[in-house]
Structure 1
Amino acid sequence: MDAAMDVMTRNEWRSATVEKLCTAANLNKRYFYESFTDLDGLAAAVVDDIADGVRSATVAAADAAAQEPLEVQAMASVAAAVRALVDDPRRARVLLGGVAALPELDAHRTTVMHRLTDVLIDHGRSVHGVELEKDPLAKVAPAFIVGGTADAILEFVNGGVDLSLDDFIAQLATLWLITGNGAAQVARARIPRA
């Protein structure tokens, strides 16, 4: 999967072959076919592996900080998600940037990103209250946060953000708090009073 990630981040996936990937990974083709049916299966597995790592790190951080103030929870969750991606920038580029010229993989990546958004929605329900989920902001805010965070992470790994990693994470966590708390405040104000 490491060799596949290299090829994917270099935008060479269209010219990839099982033979080339196996050569790069020092594996024989038999090993490949014991694990994957084809290159599309490998590409999907790479995306799934990255997303699983982000999800696991984020959920573990959120669980560990569950009894802390919301600001600490946000910082822990954002730090875990960001570090899971930027510690190996290829992971960010594959999951968040996609792989050029692969519509099927892009559709799969979109589904995976929706699953990650669902993790944020579930956490938001526990923090801000289930009653707010009927407000339209509950549908828009998570996608806004995840999409904006994804773009910011790509800018960071591509050298477009002139901040240290810790400062970058702190700014993202602040934006998550502003957006989440602001959306919850507006949603609460919209609840009809009895």
Structure 2
Amino acid sequence: MAAQRTYGGLSAEERRAQRRSALLDAALEIIGTQGLDKLTVTGMCGEAGLNERYYYESFTSRDDVLTALIDGIAEELVLVIAAALHGAGDDSRAKARAAIAAGIHLLTDDPRKTEVTMVAAMATPALRARTTETIRAFARLVASEGIEFYGVDGPAPDPVIDFRATYLVGGLIQTLTGWVRGDLDISRETLIDYTTDVFVLLGEDFAHRADQDRSEP
């Protein structure tokens, strides 16, 4: 097989990845500053400084672009939450607050990401389905962390754990959306504290019930 030709020290695949990343950065900027309606192939390529033909080497539709943005933000969330959990204290509240704060800060420090997750993610049926899948994935992450932290044994998957984790993640997203829109007149730190209260309450209640079940003859 012939060696892959390089330009400026980058392979063709690496250059393609760079162009894709530049287009996604451009899409994030347009959505965040001009609105979803302004997201066009011409606009993206102009913002990225690329010929329009490069758009089609990575994307086939606007939904493709938005899905890639949503997936990218979800990956960022996983990384910052994992880092926050690793650096948090050993008690349940410290871990919950660290993870929740990390996620909320990521989604709200950059208004462009807020716009993507709160508006663009609901733009079409396909994107809403993708968002639902993402919520389920984070619910599974919450369930897994809770099981590990509290040392809860039980059937897999446990419908009670699944329900509570889905309720927590879905409720957080709905609450965060309302807060971003100004429906909740509280500070971001208070929002984080209140959310932590709910996560810890449901987690410790379930752990307590599990302990009772194990102690029963």
Q: TM-score, normalised to structure 1's length?
A: 0.84
Counterpart Cα distance in 2 of 1:169 and 1:33: 41
SS at match of 1:131: coil
Distance verdict in 2 for CA 1:158–1:2, change over 3 Å? farther
Structure 2, unpaired ranges of 5+:
1-23
Q: CA deviation at 1:172?
A: 1.0
Determine if the alignment matches structure 1 residue 121 to structure 2 residue 143. yes
1:78-114 Cα deviation digits (max 9, x unpaired): 1111111111234234335554441111111211221
Separation in structure 2 between the aligned mates of residue 31 and residue 109 of structure 1, nearest angstrom: 27
What is the aligned-residue identity percentage? 29
Matched, 1:32 2:55: yes
- Give the one of 93, 99, 108 matched to 1:86: 108
1:136 corresponding residue in structure 2: 159
Cα separation, partners in 2 of 1:181 and 1:98, compared to 1, 3 Å:
farther
Larger relative contact order (Cα-Cα within 8 Å, sequence gap ≥ 6): 1
Among candidates 105, 127, 131, match of residue 127 of structure 2: 105
* Letter of the 1:120 counterpart: V
List per-residue Cα deviations over 1:37-95 (Å, max 9, x = no partner): 33222111000011111111111101222x52111111111111111111123423433
Q: Say yes or no: does 1:4 pair with 2:27.
A: yes
Kindly state the Cα deviation for residue 165 of structure 1 after the two structures are TM-superposed. 1.6
Cα deviation per residue 1:8-57 (whole Å; 9 max; x = unaligned)?
56352xx7431233234443213323333332221110000111111111
**Take 2:170 and 2:121, find their aligned partners in 1: how far apart are those partners?**
17
Check the 8 A contact 1:7/1:16 in 2, yes or no.
yes
* Match of residue 163 from structure 1: 186
Q: Which residue of 2 aligns with 1:64?
A: 87
Per-residue deviation at 1:132? 4.2
Q: Which stretches in structure 1 are left out of the alignment for 5+ residues?
A: none
Decide whether the 8 Å contact of 1:51 with 1:95 is kept in 2.
Answer: no
What CA distance in whole angstroms lies between the structure 2 residues aligned with 1:74 and 1:127?
A: 11
Local SS of the residue matching 2:184: coil
Displacement after TM superposition at 1:143 (Å) = 0.4
CA distance in 2, matches of 1:16, 1:93: 13
User: What is the alpha-carbon distance in structure 2 between the residues aligned to residue 138 and residue 45 of structure 1?
Assistant: 30
**1:61–1:76 contact (8 Å) kept in structure 2:** yes
Matched letter for residue 159 of structure 2: P
- Write the deviation string for residues 117-176 of structure 1: whole angstroms up to 9, x where unpaired: 221111011112241455532120000000111011111211222222222211111111
Distance 2:215 2:54 in 1: 61
What residue is the counterpart of 2:198 in the other structure? 175
| Separation of aligned partners in 2, 1:53 and 1:97 | 18
Q: 1:46 aligns with which of 49, 63, 69?
A: 69
Aligned length: 191
Distance 1:88 1:132, change over 3 A: farther
| Aligned partners of 1:4 and 1:21 also within 8 Å | yes
